[in-house]
Amino acid sequence: MTPPEAPKDGNAARGDTPPAVSVCAPESQKMDIMAKRRDFLACARPPARKQGTKGMMVQGLDRRDSGGIRIGFTCSKKVGNAVARNRAKRRLREAARMILPLHGRPGWDYVLIGRAIETAQRPLEELKRDLIYALKKIHGQ
């Protein structure tokens, strides 16, 4: 049995193939993850805004600086055991990765809070629509 042959045109060998399309955020819209409890608490107090949807609760705070977008994720024990909470947070992270570079604003902090049952079972497209709706309400549009 002989090994498969390389492409005859040699494009792959020369590196002439185009790079894969990146869905990452542009440098101007880079997102940082919040890790400090005080940042989460600041998003829960006035003058922060919050908007609930069927799949999640979104809290937003305008930091009034020119920094990038900061994002935090949380799920209470009402969501379920550790496996269920981690699954819900993974889904929230994926929705945020796709939506916040387009609809989020630089200089804002956002906290996405998972809901029991709904966050883990809701289709990803609906979670993304929920996030877009919540961001529009938080930004006052």
Locate all alpha helices (DSSP H) within the chain, ordered by sequence.
11-14, 37-44, 82-103, 118-121, 124-138
Q: Which domains does the chain have, with CATH numbers?
A: 31-138 (3.30.230.10)
Which backbone phi and psi does 58 adopt, to 5 degrees?
Answer: -120, 130
pLDDT tens column, 44-100: 999 999 999 999 999 999 998 888 999 999 999 999 999 999 999 999 999 999 999
Q: From CA 50, how far away is CA 60, in angstroms rounded?
A: 6
* Gyration radius from the chain CA atoms: 20
pLDDT given at position 83: 95
pLDDT given at position 95: 97
pLDDT given at position 94: 96
